[in-house]
Amino acid sequence: MSFKETLEKKTAEIGELIKAYLPEETGFQSAVMEAMNYSVLAGGKRLRPMLMQETYRMFGGEGEIVKPFMAAMEMIHTYSLVHDDLPAMDNDEYRRGKKTTWAVYGEDMGILAGDALLNYAFETACLAFSMPEADARVGQAMGILAKKAGIYGMIGGQVVDVQAAGKNLDRERLDFIYALKTGALLESSMMIGAVLAGAGEEEVEQVRRAALDMGLAFQIRDDILDVTSTLEVLGKPVHSDDKNEKTTYVTIKGLEQAEKDVEIISRRAMDTMRALPFENPFLLELIEMLITREK
């Protein structure tokens, strides 16, 4: 089976796994559940849960304990996109080629759906505590999940990103935004996979460094695609950074240098992963594909 075929198979399997954890659309509050489910099922690469699962497998993990965390991670990622798209933030009406949540359900329900997904993500992750294989590693994984999604992770990066709109940023502040807003959930995904499989502290730190570089390269690639791609290919509006007066890696370094830096940073991420005393060829191919993607 080719990498593409394997990727499609794994993506579909993870999609079904996530679907199984979504709430049933019943009760007086069913409107928010419908909006939550629409948001999660609107598509996507399922990158973060896949990275978590493949890192877990790389370190020898074979149980079910990772599954609630995989679903929770996708819910957290999705909530961040739902809120990113709101009129008060990026004001985008399309994502993944479909209408954004607020554009379908209204701005008020878009806010509530994002809030609900974040809370429901932790409800879902907590299910791991009641599984037969649960031990102290579940608590450690919960701590990583919470911190990397919060003010010292994704939210912290988003705060600085919002404050930076219309301003000229220096490289240090831009790197901070990218490390937290984009990199934190990638770090969290791979660190949780490693922790749940029983990896040691040094190995978890090595995974974190690789994920940090991967996140930086991933975001620079996103900046490049915002300039060079189209709505049809990318599945979301292009030139949105210009529209929102955002400083990006491309505006600071230029398109040509950004392309070169993506290659340097991604190679460093791959070298860090290859230095681990464990192997997962699919995981390495996945990382390389994500950094060189066209959409």
Let me know: does 234 contact 227? Beta carbons within 8 Å. Answer: no
Let me know: does 179 contact 216? Beta carbons within 8 Å. Answer: yes
Let me know: does 195 contact 137? Beta carbons within 8 Å. Answer: yes
Domains held by the chain: number:
1
Q: What is the CATH number of the domain that holds 124?
A: 1.10.600.10
Q: How confident is the model at residue 102 (pLDDT cuts 50, 70, 90)?
A: very high
Interatomic CA distance for residues 49 and 186, integer angstroms: 9
Judge whether residue 233 has pLDDT over 50. Answer: no
pLDDT number for residue 65: 98
At residue 152's C-alpha, the angle toward residues 151 and 155, to 5°, is: 40
* Residue type at position 292: T
Domain around 119: 3-291
Query: Which residues, in sequence order, are CB contacts of 210 under 8 Å at separation 6+?
Result: 190, 269, 270, 272, 273, 287
pLDDT number for residue 295: 60
The stretch 184-196 carries a mean pLDDT of 97
- When the pLDDT of each residue in the chain is averaged and rounded to a whole number, the result is 91
pLDDT number for residue 290: 80
Is this structure's pTM higher than 0.75? yes
Task: Name the nearest CA neighbour of 55 among 224, 151, 197.
Answer: 197
The stretch 112-126 carries a mean pLDDT of 98
Q: How confident is the model at residue 231 (pLDDT cuts 50, 70, 90)?
A: very low
pLDDT, greater one: 67 or 247? 67
